[in-house]
A and B are shown apart, each in its own frame.
Chain A
């Protein structure tokens, strides 16, 4: 049995900070992909009706309805067997892409809900001044939907950051990957995993604060 060692906890915490840029890059890039892809999907679904719409609904359902870990394994280890092209991606690229696709499903759902919460009078008013439906979407509906969806999008981002802790399984030396290596070399599992847990907790708290502040600011504007 080991005695809890605060010194190891602290040194592990700072040691792990080296992996912070990698974790944040994966998280931020994935969120960017998720935002662009997810917003495009929900805008498409709002403006069009057709077979693609149904397929997109299926896409959203699949990526929200299966564990991220399975998606990572399926697309990183499984897909290249069927389509060798995908085997050329390295772990970083694959992590960003798969997590981005995963995030896009959540983003699409938030923005769909936000768009449908906006009074149809807004769209009518946009059309009445001569905007076409794409302009009305871009200048009238989407800016309002983004404000409505912001708190949910913030939570999605927090989820993405926490989700990056699975990418070590693709071989990425992110926070979790580094923690695992360190624990394997010094056998101080408790201190090292506590340190990495605290690190994610800290990031989450900071992002939540930021999110609340932005929501508060928008709420002030809306009243």
Chain B
């Protein structure tokens, strides 16, 4: 579905992504874990060109682009087929919850007002927020805002959904409701990349887990492999600090 090769990105002197290859199959769920500052956000943002890499090639749904020289048209085309859920939600404060969800349907995907509304309400029902359709985003709890964020991201049925630490900004008691929604949308069989610090969730939801450190993919494998005794020492050191939280 998506394949990137040799992505490199630096911010000034700082080399943030040092030649990463990554591939995800249709319907596959990949979790990316790794310490803060290791380049996880930067990497996943290159997938929808919120960050433009200095180097790299991308094959999206069969079409290959040189990422550094990608044309606006190519970038817009890829963004139409991807969705993203942000750590800090990024809901549009001047629009109602429903308008947040259906803006792209109306302005990008040429839905009629009525069709967009119908689809928007269906999505809000799915994330359990139908009664909040006309509310302003600021009146919602963090967990509710993030569920709207998810509904907005999947509204146009993207082929790839990127979630960058979707629960990291939430109070602990609100994490569960958001994770439940993410698990539920797995039923749609879109490809999903989830950056997360929720190790148990990664284990449960992901087909594959990738461990990033210092701008590189250090280890990659099935959840069983990644949490096994034979995992690389650096990874074990990282995951053990989290497993503690659950035991």
Give Cα distance in the complex from A132 to B73, angstroms.
Answer: 9
A125/B90 in contact, CB under 8 A: yes
A139/B50 in contact, CB under 8 A: no
Contact with B along A180-219 (1 / 0, CB 8 A): 0000000000000000000000000000000000000000
B156/A122 in contact, CB under 8 A: no
Contact with B along A14-38 (1 / 0, CB 8 A): 0000000000000000000000000
B189 contacts A by Cβ under 8 Å: no
A140 contacts B by Cβ under 8 Å: yes
CB proximity to A under 8 Å, residues B71-89:
72, 76, 79-80, 82-84, 86, 88
B136/A125 in contact, CB under 8 A: no
A223/B138 in contact, CB under 8 A: yes
A121 contacts B by Cβ under 8 Å: yes
Task: Report chain A residues within 8 Å CB of B103.
Answer: 129, 131, 139
Please list the residues of chain A having a beta carbon within 8 angstroms of any beta carbon in chain B. 119, 121-122, 124-132, 135, 139-140, 143-144, 147, 221-223
| A124 interface neighbour in B80, B90, B94, Cβ under 8 Å | B90
B38 contacts A by Cβ under 8 Å: no
> Which of B12-20, B104-112, B120-128, B231-239 faces chain A?
B104-112
| B93 interface neighbour in A127, A128, A139, A222, Cβ under 8 Å | A222
A122/B108 in contact, CB under 8 A: no
Q: Which chain B residue lies CB-closest to A142? A: B94
Known A125-B86, A128-B48, A129-B104; contact A144-B152, beta-carbon cutoff 8 A: no
B92/A130 in contact, CB under 8 A: no
B150 contacts A by Cβ under 8 Å: no
In the complex, 18 of the A-B residue pairs with CB atoms within 8 angstroms, ordered by the A residue number, are A124-B45, A124-B90, A125-B84, A125-B86, A127-B48, A127-B49, A127-B50, A128-B48, A128-B90, A129-B103, A129-B156, A131-B104, A131-B107, A132-B72, A139-B107, A140-B92, A144-B92, A222-B138
